[in-house]
Amino acid sequence: MSAPPLQAPFQLRQIDHIVLRVRDSARMQAFYCAVLGCTVERRQDEIGLVQLRAGQSLIDLVDVAGKLGRAGGAAPGAEGHNLDHLCLRVEPFDREAIVAHLQAHGVPVGDFGSRYGAEGEGPSQYLSDPEGNTVELKGPPDTASASVANSA
């Protein structure tokens, strides 16, 4: 008989940061700041790292040509990405305004739907960043879904 799993001495609270290995750091920084509203938190140019503030979390951009990026192997491309997608919780969630904003910036807009996230079922819009990473913009939980989740 196997031993029961040990209880972790901590609880997870939220995603702290995500790291994207990128080919064009300046273009990616411009996209995440100008289009999605991130701000530059910190730079470490000597290792090829730019850290962007995204609400309570960070998005780290690691240049594949930099010291840190070269350690990670080949650059992301059509045959392989460094992640499936990243999801950013946004508020307010006005789909028409979001799509108009993305289109004004020439951003490829993907599927829209109701998807489950950390806060429950709610609106979700996919898009692509300049290097082909899928980004999900997630709205608040739907009222009906939230009341069902709260009563469970």
Instruction: List Cα–Cα distances, 59 to 23, 62, 82, in angstroms.
Output: 15, 10, 13
| CATH architecture for the domain at 84-152 | Roll (3.10)
pTM of the model as a whole: 0.73
**CATH 3.10.180.10, the chain: domain bounds:** 15-78, 84-152
What is the third-level CATH fold of 15-78? 2,3-Dihydroxybiphenyl 1,2-Dioxygenase; domain 1 (3.10.180)
The per-residue pLDDT string of the chain (152 residues; one tens digit each, 9 = 90 and over) reads 676 666 766 676 778 899 899 999 999 999 999 999 999 999 999 999 999 999 989 999 999 888 888 877 777 777 666 777 899 999 999 999 999 999 999 999 999 999 988 888 999 999 999 988 889 999 999 875 444 444 44
Question: Is there a contact between 150 and 101 (Cβ–Cβ < 8 Å)?
Answer: no
pLDDT at position 68 is: 82
Q: How far apart are CA 7 and CA 9, in angstroms?
A: 6
